[in-house]
Chains A and B, each alone.
Chain A
Amino acid sequence: MSREFSPEPQGRSPKRKRSDDYDGARYGDGPDAALSYAYDDDLNSDAENAFQTPDHGSDNEAASPKRRRLERPQKLNYVPHLTLRGHKRGIAAVKFSPDGKWIASCSADSTIKIWNAHTGQLSQTLEGHMAGISTIAWSPDSKVVASGSDDKLIRMWDISTGKSFPIPLQGHHNYVYSLAFSPKGNMLVSGSYDEAVFLWDVRTARVMRSLPAHSDPVSGVDFVRDGTLVASCSSDGLIRIWDASTGQCLKTVVHETQPAVTSVRFSPNGKYVVAATLDSCLRLWDYVEGRCLKTYQGHKNEKYSINACFGKYGVNPATDSGTPKADQDSEQDADPTWAFLACGSEDGEVVLWDVSSKEILQRIPGHEGAVLGVDVESKNQSIVTCGVDKTIRVWRRQTLPPSGDAVTNGNGNGEVAPPVRSEQPSDEEQVKDSDA
């Protein structure tokens, strides 16, 4: 059964159903949330024909590709791919390695686990911290993980051996709460409950600069793409931008109601920052002008430090996950891409917004309790999430037909498959349990 839910639905036609009874009632957010997709085994042969013969089906299917490439999908379809179990307490952060091969997770049980991102197999359990771990960061070469713990230390781990480097980064006077590597991997920035931001020389494990950053715990830090700027945020409501080479504060942005900021991230092009605040909002700031450009709402975030993350999406899911048409493969690179934001919610969902329109692209239910960490991997179009329910979940994007009509016409079959009920994922998806 699990193979049917692997990310390659070759030959299976994604089906779409507007299930206004159960799902609509459950998520209660209008038609946006009431969409789900399924693959019907019985339709197997028909569906294959539909994809392999280019002239098969109605004009609708044949005429649409050109136009469809230019139109932004109104919805995304991330489906459960893996569930990783093994941590004994809530999981604070989860990150894909930059090369996409690994997933690192850290938990209140003082361990870090490294998972194979494709199979979900547990590769390493890194033990050494004396208290819960709030944050992890991958080095750009995907060989080293840095972790920040409540034991005030930052440790660097070699993931090939599972051992930590002998000298920990020592200097914070309180819990280490957030970490980020510089793009070259030679510096590390850390934010702590001691209200300071430290810049570390990774090679010597020494503090290079200590920035007198905030008047409350520093909840988030990030490096910009070229490594010249550092962003920090704090529950004092401020987001500060620092010059990494001089250590001077270059800009401070704050929302007028000063809600506590729990996470800050630079946009992929480095021009903006997105900040999560405890008034259940994500805000996109132009930090040069100090102006809030967008406010994203629809999730619940009042208590936990929840990370937001940028991702990008094209018209179709990644080629390797089964876009069947050959002519589309060749033009895959030229396809326009748009950016989305992913953020966990305290009601157990992960919410995806389109950055420009602020529309919700998908709500992914799955976790019980707050979703604390989310990370997006663009190449395989995967999302990984973790939460207080001690599980890590990996989601993969699946094909989304342009409209319900096209699907029915496309496979020449009026039947509608029953929706997959995502509240019972353990039956269908691959479940990895490291304790087993």
Chain B
Amino acid sequence: MNLPLSDPVLLAQDIPETLTARLRSSGQAVCIRFSHRGDLLASGTAKGTIAIFDLETNGVARKLKGHTSGRTVQSLSWEKSGRYLLSSSIDWKVILWDLKDGSRVRTVNLGAPVYIAELHPSNFNICVAALYEYRPVLADFTDSKKVKQMALPNLPKRAPHEIEGNEKADAKHFTTVAAFTPTGSHIITGTTKGWLNVIDSKTKETVYSNRLCSKPILLIRLSSSGRDLLVNASDTIIRTIKLPDLSDPNLQPDSIRLEVEHKFQDVVNRLSWNHVAFSSNADYVMASTLMNHDIYIWERGHGSLVKILEGPKEELGAVEWHPTRAFVAATGVESGRIYLWSINTPQRWSALAPDFVEVEENVEYIEKEDEFDIHDTAELTKRRLDQEDEDVDVLTVDEEQLEREGRIGKGAGEEFRMPVLLDMGESDSEDEIVAIGTGQFRRKSTAQADELEFVDGDDVADSDIGTNGHAGTKRRRGE
């Protein structure tokens, strides 16, 4: 509802500018993911805990514990309404959480460390997971007693004569990443040998394959429209690819062509990229860099670099773009803190009094003829009251507004409201208890709370533990 009062210049700005906040740490975050509505941010830590941040307060809304302690959380995936969250870890497990009460709906052991697990876009009882040195799995846990695990192919689709003589190589050909298309009809996977496979999620067969490079593929991301694919491979090149409409029933698998639209790379420094993401409308591509502190943002129209977001003095790991706003979150590799970039909104002075106007240059004031005439105030008041005859509707909410709130339109569905826990004690993790014991960090901050910096006494406790846990897992995927 703040749109009509907001500065149109700032609203038109679609990439973030500056580092604006740091989230109160709750352990060493290694992977983050915005909820579909954009009001919550889930973060998984190197120690296996998960924290849900409320982005309105920048505070922890819930903590989830269930993965084997000390094992890195590898990926997070939100269900549409924001009530369910899927997490995966190198402890072989994927867990489906119900955020209403923080309970575990399903815990599934997939039999191998998980690279990434993603929920089906419309059915949160189905997920696809890429496993370490194993075939990717489509898991259906509708039935709580018997989870169906269906293995998906690792190998690209090839003509029969190509298979011969390749058995030896195929034995070491594994899938590193898997993602659903927005309708859930297909799964796109990337392999250690640089192949991109399109798998039909019904028949579980590869319908199309394409080799992008000879190095392993690290990450595949789809835009919300499902027509754009973003691929990060360990050959230091980020590729964007236009996808055909895979949900079209008339689509012939043979006619699929995946053509690389843009290649983004740093030719001079040969930077490699830790993590990549599309902007909310897929107009921009951003990447965090290995051994470097910056986030690079390219626009896709011409494929040019438009912005380098400078941040804290540490390497950044996972980066995520907010689903609707010019707002970026990233994790620090060493500290595990979560940093936020957005647009600075200066105070407009004209808002402070009704007769203030912001002018470009001096304006000579011309007094109106009747400006200082004395009128009978009673007469004026009466006339004004008589003029207040328009119909006012204080009840009906604009459809546009309802759509923004996600009550009608395409985002509509069962509304989920995250319960507000006033006594975080029950969901507190050990590191926060330590923080309370070691000093009055939280108490002190109440009186003179800083507007941007969120005092983080909590990560003092674990800053000396396992700083390289995250780096290790990430690198392993590149090998």
Contact = CB atoms under 8 A, between A and B. Distances in A.
Interface stretch (B117-125, B283-291, B366-374, B393-401): B393-401
A270 B1 contact: yes
Given A224-B1, A270-B401, A170 B446 contact: yes
A383 interface: no
Nearest to A158: B422
A358 interface: yes
Contacts of B446: 170-171, 205-207
Nearest to B388: A294
29 contacts: A170-B447, A171-B447, A185-B417, A186-B56, A202-B420, A202-B422, A203-B61, A206-B449, A224-B1, A226-B401, A226-B405, A227-B56, A229-B2, A229-B5, A246-B345, A247-B451, A248-B346, A252-B354, A267-B395, A271-B394, A272-B394, A288-B5, A292-B388, A294-B392, A295-B384, A310-B394, A339-B393, A355-B394, A356-B392
B423 interface: yes
Interface in B202-221: none
B442 interface: yes
A293 B394 CA distance: 12
Contact of A252 (B352, B390, B424): B352
Nearest to B60: A203
A245 B351 CA distance: 16
B395 A312 contact: yes
Report, nearest first, the 10 A-B pairs whose CB atoms are least far apart. A267-B394, A250-B5, A201-B57, A228-B2, A207-B449, A269-B397, A185-B420, A246-B345, A270-B1, A288-B4
Given A203-B420, A206-B449, A241 B392 contact: no
Contacts of A293: 388, 390, 392
Interface string B246-289: 00000000000000000000000000000000000000000000
A292 B1 CA distance: 19
A434 interface: no
Contact of A187 (B57, B393, B395): B57
Nearest to B343: A246
B1 A182 contact: no
A59 interface: no
Contacts of A247: 451
Interface in B441-455: 442, 445-447, 449, 451
A233 to B, nearest CB: 14
Contacts of B385: 295
A225 B398 CA distance: 12
A61 B54 CA distance: 56
Nearest to A224: B1
A252 B398 CA distance: 23
Q: Is the interface of B mostly helix, strand, loop or mixed?
A: loop
A249 B56 contact: no
Given A228-B1, A268-B395, A293-B392, A139 B420 contact: yes
B418 interface: yes
Contacts of B417: 140-141, 184-185
A254 B353 contact: yes
A272 B449 CA distance: 32
B59 interface: yes
B413 interface: no
A290 interface: yes
A184 B417 CA distance: 7
Contact of B348 (A158, A248, A288, A310): A248
A209 interface: yes
Contacts of A156: 422
A424 interface: no
Contacts of B421: 203
A144 interface: yes
A41 interface: no
Contact of A250 (B6, B39, B390, B397): B6
Interface string A238-278: 00010111111111111000000000000111111000000
A267 B396 CA distance: 10
Interface centre among B397, B418, B447, B449 (most CB of A within 10 A): B449
A243 B404 CA distance: 17
A171 B1 CA distance: 29
Contacts of A288: 4-5
Given A226-B405, A287-B5, 4 more contacts: A144-B422, A203-B59, A245-B2, A312-B395
A186 B394 contact: no
A356 B391 contact: yes
Contacts of A205: 446
Contacts of B390: 293
Interface in B29-44: 39
A357 B417 CA distance: 37
Nearest to A284: B392
A204 interface: yes
Contacts of B395: 267-269, 312, 337-339
Contacts of A226: 1, 401, 404-405
Contacts of B54: 186, 203
Interface string A52-92: 00000000000000000000000000000000000000000
B57 A186 contact: yes
Interface string A289-306: 010111100000000000
B347 interface: yes
A252 B351 CA distance: 6
Given A270-B401, A339-B395, A203 B57 contact: yes
A271 B422 CA distance: 31
A284 to B, nearest CB: 7
B2 to A, nearest CB: 4
Contacts of A225: 1, 397
B418 A243 contact: no
A187 B4 CA distance: 23
A271 B397 CA distance: 8
B70 interface: no
A72 to B, nearest CB: 11
A174 interface: no
B347 to A, nearest CB: 5
A290 B57 CA distance: 29
B420 A249 contact: no
Contacts of A249: 347, 351-352
